[in-house]
């Protein structure tokens, strides 16, 4: 009980002081709500993500960089990929209860993902670029659309042009 209260207090303090990016604040609020509602699967997903954020923040602090919403989206994408693999293992192992819990975690984090660009949008952006070399296209999307586009889709569209 004390641990949960302390965890909630830390999240509340971080949100109140506005020392994080906007997206991580929303995740921390969702974490507190899941704690209050005793939604353990969602809470587990949010807690893992918040811990990954804190580790990234510490490593970035050493280099003097700020953690951005794009960095948080990248963390969410990595966590979603890990959870999908975990769910697949539970399904193969016949553990339906754990697979369902993992799906709840995936759904909880999916809410925070931005709308991903579709193939037509990617094609229009590539067409508008002066330099259509693979390296230039990939660099442009990585710098300007990080977390908003699937880079494998960009690669596939760039190759087809």
Instruction: Report the share of the chain in percent with pLDDT over 70.
Output: 87
Contacts of 32 (CB under 8 A, 6+ apart): 8, 11, 12, 15
Contact 114, 105 (CB under 8 A): no
CA pseudo-torsion sign 19, 25, 72, 120: negative
CA–CA separation, 150 vs 160, rounded Å?
A: 16
Has this prediction a pTM greater than 0.75? no
pLDDT category, 148, cuts 50, 70, 90?
confident
The per-residue pLDDT for range 53-91, each reduced to its tens digit, is 999 999 998 888 988 888 898 899 999 999 999 999 999
Other Cβ atoms less than 10 A from the Cβ of 111: the count is: 11
What is the model's pLDDT at position 68? Answer: 87
Contact 49, 108 (CB under 8 A): no
3-state secondary structure the chain: CHHHHHHHHHHHHHHHHCCCCHHHHHHHHHHHHHHHCCCHHHHHHHHHHHHHHHHHHHHHHHHCCCCCHHHHHHHHHHHHHHHHHHHHHHHHHCCHHHHHHHHHHHHHHHCCCCCCCCHHHHHHHHHHCCCCCHHHHHHHHHHHCCCCCCHHHHHHHHHHC
What is the model's pLDDT at position 154? Answer: 92
What is the model's pLDDT at position 69? Answer: 86
Residue whose pair of structure tokens reads 């207090």 in the numeric block: 9
The per-residue pLDDT for range 81-120, each reduced to its tens digit, is 999 999 999 999 999 999 999 999 999 999 998 888 899 9
- The overall average pLDDT reported for the chain is 86
Is the per-residue pLDDT at 149 higher than 90?
Answer: no
């Amino acid at each position: 009980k004390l641990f949960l209260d302390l965890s909630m207090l830390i999240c509340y303090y971080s949100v109140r002081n506005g020392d994080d990016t906007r997206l991580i604040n929303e995740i921390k609020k969702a974490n507190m709500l899941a704690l209050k509602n005793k939604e353990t699967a969602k809470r587990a997903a949010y807690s893992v993500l918040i811990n990954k954020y804190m580790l990234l923040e510490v490593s970035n602090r050493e280099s003097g960089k700020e953690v951005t919403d794009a960095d948080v989206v990248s963390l969410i994408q990595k966590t979603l990929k890990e959870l999908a693999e975990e769910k697949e293992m539970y399904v193969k192992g016949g553990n339906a209860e754990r697979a369902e819990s993992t799906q709840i975690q995936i759904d909880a984090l999916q809410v925070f993902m931005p709308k991903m660009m579709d193939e037509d949008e990617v094609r229009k952006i590539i067409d508008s670029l002066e330099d259509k070399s693979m390296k230039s296209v990939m660099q442009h999307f990585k710098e300007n659309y990080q977390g908003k586009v699937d880079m494998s889709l960009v690669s596939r569209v760039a190759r087809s042009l």
